[in-house]
């Protein structure tokens, strides 16, 4: 793997008056119930993970699971109660106010669920805002902002006020604003949750297109499991402040670590999530039929082809070397098998 | 019994009323009791009782404690007064360098501070005044009289009125557009032609100092309270009392601390105008969505940038309402502070009212109102202004406003110069139209008043007599007939039924303060006038508001009318009623009703508007007719907001009742007015003010508690 950009080591966030003291006394064993009895609420409980450069980590959980709190600890909008957070090797919690502002001005961008646009500024002024805060002169910041306006496809609306835009357009402004300073790290806090399903899908596709181009390091928060599957390189599933499982979408679907995670995966159409590589058999490369499929193919796209075969299908990598095989019955197993109660 | 279970509250209220009336009938009026008209409480009389507290002698007429409580707080005004004098004249004497005499002088600290503050305010006012009207003091302050003698050309005249008018129009154009520019120009021309230029500019200079200072202090303190819970907790009780304190009452202590004149008026105006600004600033900042603040932080804002570029602009709407309030209060105070020697339109207005010259009063009042509306609209436009980055403008286009102003400046000066030749030997009308030398419509109005009086005298008189004899006198007698204990029981009981033990205690404390002050009878009279005003105002306001609400256009129109009426300084309302009803209680009450109807109407419309559209549609689909919709859906849901309107109506009514003392009523206001000319008046004025404020706060507490509960019950909190 390439270099680590974000690194968390047993991060805790506990709300309440004696939070710090109680955490120190608990010796790392934080139980939400006992804490609650003493008037403290556990937001994030012992979160440890790393995010590599250019990777997209999606944190998924229902409301109250602590996912937004975790994001705010990493952006230091709130101070973590315990643990260590490193941004490109820098200890985030050790930074003084000035260094923190420097970091945010140059390295971080954030998109919010409710868009959080400044109501008194036009589209272009909103986007130029982080630049102007940094001290860029007006003309340059407006020029950069105009480029961003084009990037998110809002040309012609640069002089509109947020109140004159639809939800999807407002979020485009939010995205453009967070990208204006060309940050390396991109935080997105449920950016599409407030949008209509159709607009949401459109924005997700647009977002993937942007990410292809920009290759940022991303932490993306969502409560929508399908959205997580669609976007993520890796998914972290949170419940009651604890990260239940952190893995690739395929592994989460195939090997849910806990009962809680399994419930989410039950309804997931596997053929849409898994690629051939996830289900292929690497031990048996003999007796292959004529058909070859790529290991990166999504099952849904090649299922029909494989199912019409009677022989075992060979799986190849990008250089056309055979790396494994797959039986047609395995496809049926994968699609219909894992569900215990049927549906 | 079934009813008892179904409506337990109703029976509790009934029980309370029965106890109240039982007490009223059980406690006889003492034979010696009579309403004391003069200031007899302070006249020595062998029938009076006396007690000493903290070395102060308090005299009063003793009654049965059930009938009237003894004034156990009678020492408070005297004590406040003495403490104030001690602080000003004896506390912490220190050596200060005196520039004029070139020596050290011993002076009490507070006196020195107050004198310096005064000097600073005077300087600011004079600076603006001399730009507008000409004068030397500012230049002298920086140099010396000798300097002026050496360079006589420094004796610049003030700006000709043409330039100020053009400047106002151009500024309005830049801020808002043609409409406001025309309004600004016409206002200035009106002021000038009617010979009100000098007092208007005096008032304007006073406001241009008081309003920005109040804004800055209010905003600053509001931000401090937003940032620190402790500051907020310390400020909150003061803000509450100041919200309901009549503006009159703060005049007297200011007189002691800062003396007489425009500077004292500025300080007093700030005392009154800052609290609403603070409250609205806090309100606005609290309402900012947390994500907007986070977005600001993530953009890398320093604390300052966050405050100036994110928080304040986002809270702009509420802060603007604050500015609006500040301007309103400033104009209101511009009139009231004429009592402590502020110059300008207010002084002329008071003088004219005193001479019963209604025409003159009307002209001055109109000028104040016009300037108030103009400044109000300009401040709104200024806050809503946007910058445009994409205009490829030429130098002329970019600076056209400045160029136009310079041009009009030159033209104005040339005109004024030409004027010296045209109007040789008389007044230069192109420079400044002197007071009383403009067109005056005063005679016209006075004749009109006379005509109305001659023609309708019989009817007006009959109405007046009927109102006073058959309505007001009995009502007043009833209020005075209430034994103090019965009133206390009623107030505390209502507090308990509405808000539980907490409300009961608050109400009890507030009522006791008034009951134990020497002015319980006066407070009852104040209460009776306020009640009468509030009841009528609410009836009119609810009706008008409901009728206007039926149509979107008329509702918007009515809100606009309310806006404009609210901008008028409160004193202005006295002019037309005095025209019609002369110097009677009726005049005051009608002024109260007109003034207090504004919030009643406004809140009714706003309340009805806030009923969700979905409910309207649901109601329509259930097949209700208009009346049913109004009574079954809209009124119940809008009622909590309308109750807040009643709350405002009470505060407005109390203000007007107190101001009505100027016409001559027998309530607390009369004593406040008297305290102004009393050398020991500071304590009395302040205590009286607190009494009035407490009357307001009792209702405020009850209504707010009720509204909060009701809103929670309806799920619209």
Partners of residue B310 in chain A, C-beta under 8 Å: 118
Give me the pLDDT at residue B436, please.
Answer: 66
Which of B291, B313, B388 is the closest to A116 by Cβ? Answer: B291
Q: State how far the Cα of B329 lies from the Cα of B346, in Å rounded to an integer.
A: 13
Contact call for B305 and A133, based on CB within 8 A: yes
- Boundaries of CATH 1.10.3720.10 in chain B? 197-368, 455-481+517-714
Asked if the C-beta of A135 comes within 8 angstroms of chain B's C-beta atoms, the answer is: no
Contact criterion met (CB < 8 Å) for B316 and A178: no
Best mutation target, B284, B287, B294, B295, to test chain A (most A CBs within 10 A):
B295
Are A120 and B292 within 8 A, CB to CB? Answer: no
In angstroms, the separation between the Cα of residue A190 and the nearest Cα of chain B is 12
Average pLDDT over residues B157-171: 81
Which chain B residue lies closest to A142 (C-alpha atoms)? B389
Q: Does A36 touch chain B (CB under 8 A)?
A: no
CB contact under 8 A, B298 and A133: no
Q: What is the pLDDT of residues A145-165, one digit of tens each?
A: 998 898 888 888 888 888 889
pLDDT at position B415: 75
pLDDT bucket at B669, cuts 50 / 70 / 90: confident
CA B142 to chain centroid, in Å, comes to 36
| Residue pLDDT tens, chain A, 343 long | 468 899 999 999 988 888 888 888 877 777 878 888 888 888 898 899 999 999 999 999 988 888 999 999 999 999 898 889 999 888 988 889 899 999 999 989 999 988 899 888 889 989 999 999 888 888 888 899 998 898 888 888 888 888 889 888 999 999 999 988 889 999 999 998 888 888 888 889 988 988 888 889 999 999 988 889 888 999 999 998 899 999 998 888 888 889 999 888 888 878 777 888 888 888 777 777 788 888 888 888 888 888 888 888 888 888 888 888 888 888 888 777 654 443 3
A residues 105-134 lying closer than 8 A (beta carbon) to B: 105-106, 108-110, 112-122, 124-125, 129-130, 133-134
Closest Cα in chain A, distance from residue B229 (Å): 16
B193 — pLDDT class (breaks 50, 70, 90): confident
Cross-chain residue pair A122–B386, CB shorter than 8 Å: yes
Out of A108, A117, A134, the one facing B298 most closely (by C-beta) is: A108
DSSP A233: S
Query: What is the model's pLDDT at position B137?
Result: 66
The C-alpha atoms of residue A208 and residue B317 are separated, in whole angstroms, by: 38
pLDDT at B159 over 80: no
| Closest chain A residue to the Cα of B383, Cα to Cα | A120
First to last CA, chain A: 39
Cβ pair B696, B651 in contact under 8 A: yes
B chain contacts of residue A142, beta-carbon cutoff 8 Å? 389
Q: In chain A, which residue's Cα lies nearest the Cα of B296?
A: A130
Contacts of A163 in chain B (CB under 8 A): none
> Cβ A120–B316 below 8 Å, yes or no?
yes
Contacts of A102 in chain B (CB under 8 A): 300
Amino acid B394: pLDDT: 65
Residue B332's pLDDT band (boundaries 50, 70, 90)?
confident
pLDDT for residue A170: 92
Q: Does A101 touch chain B (CB under 8 A)?
A: yes
Contact B639, B213 (CB under 8 A): no
Range with top average pLDDT, B424-438, B469-483, B656-670: B469-483
Could you say which of B292, B302, B386 has the minimum Cβ distance to residue A116?
B292
More confidently predicted of B627 and A53: A53
Domain B197-368, second-level architecture:
Orthogonal Bundle (1.10)
User: Residue for token digits 């202004």?
Assistant: B385
CB contact under 8 A, B292 and A133: no
Among B103-117, B133-147, B454-468, B615-629, the minimum mean pLDDT is found in B133-147
pLDDT at site A343: 36
Query: How far is residue B636 CA from its own chain's centroid?
Result: 31
Assigned token pair, B450: 């006379």
Measured between CA atoms, the residue of chain B closest to residue A72 is B294
Beta carbons within 8 Å of B550's beta carbon, 6+ residues apart: B626
CA distance B320 to chain A (A): 13
Residue with tokens 């009608």: B590
Residue ranges of chain B whose CB lies within 8 Å of a chain A CB:
289, 291-292, 294-295, 297-302, 305, 309-310, 313-314, 316, 386, 388-390
Burial class (CB in 10 A: 0-12, 13-18, 19+), A213: exposed
Task: Tell me the chain A residues in contact with residue B299 when contact means C-beta distances shorter than 8 Å.
Answer: 104-105, 129-130, 133, 177
pLDDT higher than threshold 50 for residue B354: yes
Nearest to A120 among B297, B298, B313 (CB): B313
Mean pLDDT of chain B: 83
Residue A338: which of A279, A282, A284, A283 has the closest Cα?
A: A279
* B contacts of A77 (beta carbons < 8 Å): 294, 297-298
Chain B: residue whose CA lies nearest to A185: B298
Q: Looking at the predicted structure, is the pLDDT value of residue B506 above 90?
A: yes
Q: What is the CATH number of domain A271-337?
A: 3.90.1280.20
Of B291, B302, B309, the CB nearest to A112: B291
Q: What is the pLDDT of residue B217?
A: 94
B307 vs A contacts (CB less than 8 Å): none
d(CA B576, CA B568): 13
Report residue B218's pLDDT band, with 50, 70 and 90 as the boundaries.
very high
Of B495, B509, B434, the C-alpha closest to B158 is B434
Measured between beta carbons, the chain B residues lying within 8 angstroms of A117 are 292, 295
Q: Under an 8 A CB cutoff, do A118 and B390 touch?
A: no
pLDDT of residue B152: 64
Q: How far apart are the C-alpha atoms of B490 and B629, rounded to whole Å?
A: 35
Q: What is the pLDDT of residue B139?
A: 66
Distance CA A84, CA A8 (A): 6
Residue (of A225, A228, A234, A238) closest to A207 by Cα position: A228
Topology annotation, domain B455-481+517-714: MetI-like fold (1.10.3720)
User: Cα distance from B319 to chain A (closest Cα, Å)?
Assistant: 13
In 3D space, the residue among B9, B119, B5, B7 whose CA is nearest the CA of residue B498 turns out to be: B9
pLDDT in tens, A39-94: 888 889 889 999 999 999 999 998 888 899 999 999 999 989 888 999 988 898 88
Query: In this structure, what are the phi and psi dihedrals at residue B497, rounded to the nearest 5 degrees?
Result: -65, -35
Residue of B nearest to A190 (CA): B291
Chain A (54-93) residues lying within 8 Å, Cβ to Cβ, of chain B: 72, 75, 77
Give the nearest chain A residue to B306 (CA atoms).
Answer: A133
Confidence of residue B517 (pLDDT cuts 50, 70, 90): confident
Residue A101 has its nearest CB partner, among B291, B300, B309, at B300
Q: What are the domain boundaries of chain A?
A: 4-107+183-268, 271-337
What is the pLDDT, as a whole number, of residue B136? Answer: 65
Q: Is residue B52 within a helix (H) or strand (E), and if so which, with residue range?
A: strand B49-53
* CB-defined contacts A:B, below 8 A: 70
Q: Are A312 and A285 in contact (CB under 8 A)?
A: no
**What distance in Å separates the CA atoms of residue A109 and residue B213, rounded to the nearest whole number?**
39
What kind of fold does domain A4-107+183-268 have according to CATH?
Answer: Rossmann fold (3.40.50)
Residue B93 pLDDT: 78
Output the pLDDT for position A73.
Answer: 92
Q: Please answer yes or no on whether A116 and B295 come within 8 Å at the CB atom.
A: yes
CA A55 to chain CA mean position, Å: 9
Bridge partners for B348 per DSSP? none
Chain B partners of A133 at a C-beta cutoff of 8 Å?
Answer: 299-301, 305, 309
Contact across the interface for B300 and A122, Cβ inside 8 Å:
no
CB contact under 8 A, A102 and B291: no
Chain B positions touching A177 (Cβ under 8 A) are: 295, 299
Q: What is the pLDDT of residue B282?
A: 92
pLDDT at A340: 46
Contact B389 A75 (CB under 8 A): no
Report how far residue B635's alpha carbon sits from residue B604's, in angstroms, rounded to the nearest whole number. 9
* Chain A residue closest in CA terms to B289: A116
pLDDT of residue A186: 92
Angstrom distance (rounded) from CA B367 to CA B381: 21
Residue of A nearest to B385 (CA): A120
CA distance A267 to A246: 19
């Amino acid at each position: 793997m390439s270099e680590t950009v974000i690194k968390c080591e047993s991060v805790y966030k506990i709300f309440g008056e004696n939070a710090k003291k109680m955490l120190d006394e608990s010796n790392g064993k934080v139980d939400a119930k006992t804490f609650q009895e003493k008037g403290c609420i556990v937001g994030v409980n012992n979160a440890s993970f790393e995010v590599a450069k250019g990777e997209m980590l999606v944190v998924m959980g229902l409301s109250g699971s602590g996912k937004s709190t975790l994001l705010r600890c990493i952006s230091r909008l709130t101070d973590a109660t315990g643990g260590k957070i490193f941004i490109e090797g820098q200890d985030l919690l050790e930074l003084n106010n000035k260094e923190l502002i420097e970091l945010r001005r140059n390295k971080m961008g954030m998109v919010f669920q409710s868009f959080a646009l400044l109501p008194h500024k036009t589209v272009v002024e909103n986007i130029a805002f982080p630049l102007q805060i940094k001290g860029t002169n007006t003309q340059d910041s407006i020029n950069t902002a105009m480029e961003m306006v084009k990037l998110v496809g809002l040309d012609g609306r640069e002089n509109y006020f947020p109140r004159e835009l639809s939800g999807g357009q407002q979020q485009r402004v939010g995205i453009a604003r967070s990208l204006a300073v060309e940050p390396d790290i991109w935080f997105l806090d449920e950016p599409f949750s407030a949008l209509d399903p159709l607009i949401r899908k459109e924005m997700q596709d647009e977002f993937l297109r942007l990410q292809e181009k920009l290759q940022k390091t991303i932490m993306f928060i969502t409560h929508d499991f399908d959205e997580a599957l669609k976007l993520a390189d890796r998914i972290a599933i949170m419940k009651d402040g604890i990260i239940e499982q952190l893995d690739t979408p395929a592994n989460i679907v195939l090997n849910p670590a806990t009962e809680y995670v399994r419930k989410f995966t039950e309804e997931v159409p596997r053929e849409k999530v898994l690629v051939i590589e996830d289900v292929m058999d690497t031990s048996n490369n003999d007796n292959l039929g004529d058909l070859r499929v790529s290991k990166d193919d999504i099952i849904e796209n090649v299922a029909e082809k494989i199912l019409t075969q009677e022989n075992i299908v060979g799986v190849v990598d990008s250089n056309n070397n055979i790396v494994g095989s797959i039986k047609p019955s395995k496809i049926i197993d994968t699609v219909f098998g894992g569900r215990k109660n049927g549906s | 019994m079934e009813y008892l279970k179904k409506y337990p509250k109703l029976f509790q209220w009934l029980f309370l009323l029965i106890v109240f009336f039982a007490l009223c009938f059980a406690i006889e009026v003492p034979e010696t009791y009579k309403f004391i008209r003069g200031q007899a409480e302070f006249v020595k009389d062998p029938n009076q009782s006396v007690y000493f507290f903290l070395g102060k002698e308090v005299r009063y007429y003793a009654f049965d404690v059930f009938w009237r409580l003894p004034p156990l707080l009678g020492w408070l005004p005297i004590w406040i007064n003495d403490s104030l004098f001690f602080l000003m004249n004896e506390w912490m004497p220190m050596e200060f360098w005196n520039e004029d005499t070139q020596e050290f002088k011993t002076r009490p600290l507070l006196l020195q501070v107050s004198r310096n503050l005064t000097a600073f305010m005077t300087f600011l006012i004079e600076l603006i005044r001399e730009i507008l009207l000409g004068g030397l003091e500012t230049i002298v302050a920086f140099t010396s009289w000798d300097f002026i003698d050496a360079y006589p050309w420094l004796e610049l005249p003030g700006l000709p009125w043409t330039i100020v008018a053009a400047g106002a129009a151009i500024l309005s154009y830049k801020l808002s557009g043609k409409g406001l520019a025309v309004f600004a120009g016409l206002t200035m021309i009106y002021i000038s032609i009617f010979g009100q230029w000098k007092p208007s500019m005096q008032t304007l200079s006073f406001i241009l100092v008081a309003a920005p200072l109040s804004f800055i202090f209010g905003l600053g303190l509001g931000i401090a309270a937003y940032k620190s819970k402790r500051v907020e907790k310390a400020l909150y009780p003061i803000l509450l009392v100041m919200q309901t304190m009549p503006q009159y009452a703060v005049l007297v202590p200011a007189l002691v601390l800062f003396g007489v004149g425009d500077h004292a008026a500025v300080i007093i105006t700030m005392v009154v105008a800052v609290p609403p600004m603070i409250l609205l600033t806090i309100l606005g900042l609290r309402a900012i969505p947390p994500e907007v603040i986070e977005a600001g932080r993530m953009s890398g804002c320093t604390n300052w940038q966050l405050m100036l570029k994110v928080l304040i602009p986002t809270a702009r709407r509420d802060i603007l309402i604050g500015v609006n309030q500040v301007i309103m209060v400033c104009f209101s105070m511009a009139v009231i502070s004429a009592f402590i020697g502020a110059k300008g339109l207010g002084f002329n207005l008071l003088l004219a009212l005193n001479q019963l010259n209604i025409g003159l009063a009307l002209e001055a009042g109109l000028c104040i109102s016009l300037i108030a509306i103009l400044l109000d609209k300009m401040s709104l436009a200024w806050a809503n202004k946007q910058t445009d980055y994409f205009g490829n403008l030429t130098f002329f286009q970019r600076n056209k406003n400045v160029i136009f102003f310079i041009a009009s400046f030159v033209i104005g000066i040339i005109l004024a110069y030409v004027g010296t030749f045209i109007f040789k030997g008389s007044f230069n009308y192109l420079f400044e139209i002197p007071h009383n030398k403009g067109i005056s419509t005063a005679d016209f109005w006075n004749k009109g008043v006379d005509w109305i009086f001659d023609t309708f005298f019989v009817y007006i008189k009959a109405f007046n007599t009927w109102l006073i004899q058959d309505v007001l006198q009995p009502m007043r007698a009833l209020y005075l007939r209430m034994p103090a204990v019965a009133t206390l029981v009623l107030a505390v009981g209502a507090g308990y039924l509405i808000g539980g033990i907490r409300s009961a205690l608050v109400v009890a404390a507030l009522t006791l303060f008034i009951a134990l002050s020497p002015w319980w009878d006066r407070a009852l009279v104040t209460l009776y006038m306020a009640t009468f005003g509030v009841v009528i105002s609410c009836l009119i306001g609810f009706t008008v508001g409901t009728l206007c609400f039926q149509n979107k256009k008329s509702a918007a129109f009515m809100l606009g009318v309310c806006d404009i009426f609210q901008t008028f300084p409160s004193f202005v309302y006295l002019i037309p009623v005095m025209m019609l009803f002369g110097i009677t209680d009726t005049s005051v009450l009608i002024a109260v009703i007109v003034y207090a109807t504004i919030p009643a109407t406004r809140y009714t419309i706003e309340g009805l508007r806030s009923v969700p559209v979905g409910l309207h549609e649901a109601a329509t689909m259930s097949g209700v007719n208009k009346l049913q919709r109004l009574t079954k859906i809209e009124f119940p849901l809008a009622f909590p907001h309308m109750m807040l309107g009643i709350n405002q109506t009470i505060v407005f009514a109390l203000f007007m009742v107190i101001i009505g003392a100027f016409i001559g009523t027998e309530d607390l206001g009369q004593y406040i007015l008297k305290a102004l000319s009393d050398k020991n008046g500071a304590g009395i004025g302040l205590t009286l003010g607190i009494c009035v404020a407490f009357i307001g706060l009792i209702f405020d507490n009850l209504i707010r508690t009720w509204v909060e509960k009701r809103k929670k019950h309806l799920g619209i909190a």
